[in-house]
């Protein structure tokens, strides 16, 4: 389509510039794809436009007639919400993109807004904020990521729609005490350590939880389905490693050939990602969004500190400064490398624990750096810095 002009991609100061188009919606295919007659493209033929920044659940039967649509739980609701917004905007949409050539499966990628009561409303942000869709980062189209990430965190905190864990039906194992931990940043080069990138399904309950037929996914369409008979042991965990390997009772292998969980990289405009656990009915039972944006914290806050020796023989210690035992499980000591406390690791009052990074090799720069104790979703509990470092 011909570019009409440029505009700020997002409201507020500091937004990058985007190319902008307008058009009229012919019909809504699903919760993240619309058929639009784009103004100025020399044709009246509608084009399939893919929304930037969102991933709706999968719809399997597409039709302009709602009664004929079929899809996974939450898919039809997302399509109906987009239709509702488009109708309120009288069918007219404004489309923006940082790169006019951005595509997904041959469909132009565009952020899309409708004007309601004199104000432009971002369809994608509305979908994520109200729990109709997941936030999905797209490479090269980062202008919306921070806002959508926050929208998703708020939707999760409020248990909106797909964040309501029995919306699609009660059970199975509705009372299971499960946790999700995604290790997005494997030690060393992620591309050559695929199995160092994993999703950990933990069980803090006293009974094993069967998860055959359940599945984990990233924010895109990639999913791993647990085989029949898979159980998360009481007080234990099942890991899904991204790469290839031989399955055991507690270690499963996705079999992928590239990393899938986006690392946090502010210089590269990468602000985070998520990992999601669904049951066979399509209910989102648990998720980990990283880094934490709302209701962040740790039971260890104010109870532990770090001691760091960076010159000569390096030494990193976690110290319990409280008068009660503390459990480090679900936390990690992070510098250029990291040490994760994946299993219960209890420190008694006043007790310290020495932590080695990168197998004990020297990894701390004498000129400056920092060491952090973080939650699994990257909330800093304690930090020590020196020289050019910063906490």
pLDDT tens readout for residues 79-117: 999 999 999 999 999 999 999 999 999 999 999 999 999
Nearest to 201 by CA among 234, 168, 160: 234
On the 0-12 / 13-18 / 19+ scale of CB atoms within 10 A, 358 is middle
Q: Could you tell me the CA-to-CA distances from 354 to 14, 310, 324, 332 in Å, in that order?
A: 43, 13, 19, 13
- How far, in Å, CA of 201 to CA of 47, rounded? 41
Question: What pLDDT, on a 0 to 100 scale, did the predictor assign at position 4?
Answer: 60
| Residues contacting residue 391 through CB under 8 Å, at least 6 positions apart | 370, 372, 380, 383, 384, 385
- How far, in Å, CA of 263 to CA of 269, rounded? 10
Q: CB–CB of 285/217 below 8 Å?
A: no
Q: CB–CB of 200/237 below 8 Å?
A: yes
Residues of the chain with CATH 2.60.40.1260: 178-290, 304-387
Per-residue pLDDT band for 1 (boundaries 50, 70, 90) equals: very low
pLDDT tens readout for residues 218-256: 998 899 999 999 999 999 999 999 999 999 999 999 999
73: number of Cβ within 10 Å: 17
pLDDT tens readout for residues 24-39: 999 999 999 999 999 9
> H or E segment at 106?
none
Q: CB–CB of 48/38 below 8 Å?
A: no
CATH class name, domain 304-387: mainly beta
- How far, in Å, CA of 319 to CA of 332, rounded? 14
| Residues contacting residue 159 through CB under 8 Å, at least 6 positions apart | 131, 165
Determine the average pLDDT of the residues in 311-319: 94
CATH topology of domain 178-290: Immunoglobulin-like (2.60.40)
Residues of the chain with CATH 2.40.50.90: 5-163
Q: Could you tell me the CA-to-CA distances from 371 to 94, 207, 211, 360 in Å, in that order?
A: 45, 36, 36, 15
Determine the average pLDDT of the residues in 210-217: 98
Determine the average pLDDT of the residues in 198-208: 97
**Full-prediction pTM beyond 0.85?**
yes
Question: Is a pLDDT exceeding 90 seen at residue 169?
Answer: yes
DSSP secondary structure string for all residues of 189-239: -GGG-GGGSEEEEEE-SSS-EE-TT-EEE-SSS-EEEPPTT-EE-TT-EEE
- How far, in Å, CA of 3 to CA of 14, rounded? 22
Question: Is a pLDDT exceeding 60 seen at residue 2?
Answer: no
Q: Are strands 134-135 and 54-55 parallel, antiparallel or unpaired?
A: antiparallel
Asked: is 5-163 a CATH 3.40.50.11540 domain? The reply is no
């Amino acid at each position: 389509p011909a570019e009409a002009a440029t505009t700020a991609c997002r409201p507020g100061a500091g937004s990058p510039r985007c190319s902008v188009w307008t058009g009229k919606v012919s019909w809504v295919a699903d919760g993240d794809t619309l058929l639009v007659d784009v103004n100025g493209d020399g044709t009246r033929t509608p084009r399939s436009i893919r929304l930037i920044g969102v991933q709706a659940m999968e719809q399997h039967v597409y039709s302009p007639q709602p009664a004929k649509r079929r899809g996974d739980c939450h898919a039809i609701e997302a399509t109906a919400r987009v239709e509702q917004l488009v109708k309120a905007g009288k069918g007219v949409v404004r489309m923006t993109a940082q790169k006019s050539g951005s595509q997904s499966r041959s469909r132009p990628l565009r952020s899309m807004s409708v004007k309601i009561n004199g104000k432009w409303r971002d369809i994608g942000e509305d979908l994520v904020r109200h729990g109709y869709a997941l936030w999905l980062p797209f490479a090269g189209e980062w202008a919306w990521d921070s806002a959508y990430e926050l929208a998703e965190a708020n939707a999760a905190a409020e248990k909106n729609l797909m964040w309501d864990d029995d919306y699609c039906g009660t059970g199975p194992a509705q009372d299971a005490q499960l946790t999700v931990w995604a290790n997005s940043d494997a030690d060393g080069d992620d591309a050559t350590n695929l199995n160092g990138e994993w999703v950990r399904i933990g069980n803090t309950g006293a009974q094993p939880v069967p998860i055959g037929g359940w599945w984990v996914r990233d924010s895109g369409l990639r999913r791993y389905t647990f085989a029949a008979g898979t159980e998360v042991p009481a007080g234990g965990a099942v890991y899904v490693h991204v790469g290839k390997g031989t399955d055991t009772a507690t270690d499963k292998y996705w079999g992928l050939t590239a990393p899938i969980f986006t690392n946090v990289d502010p210089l590269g405009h990468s602000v985070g990602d998520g990992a999601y656990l669904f049951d066979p009915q399509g209910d989102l039972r648990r998720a980990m969004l990283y880094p934490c944006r709302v209701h962040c914290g740790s039971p260890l806050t104010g109870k532990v500190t770090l001691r760091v020796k960076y010159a000569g023989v390096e030494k990193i210690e976690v110290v319990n400064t409280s008068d009660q035992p503390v459990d480090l499980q679900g936390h990690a000591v992070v510098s250029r490398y990291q040490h994760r406390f994946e299993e219960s690791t209890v420190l008694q009052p006043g007790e310290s624990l020495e932590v080695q990074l990168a197998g004990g090799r020297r990894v701390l720069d004498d000129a400056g750096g920092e060491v952090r104790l973080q939650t699994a979703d990257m909330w800093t509990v304690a930090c020590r810095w020196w020289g050019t470092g910063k906490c």
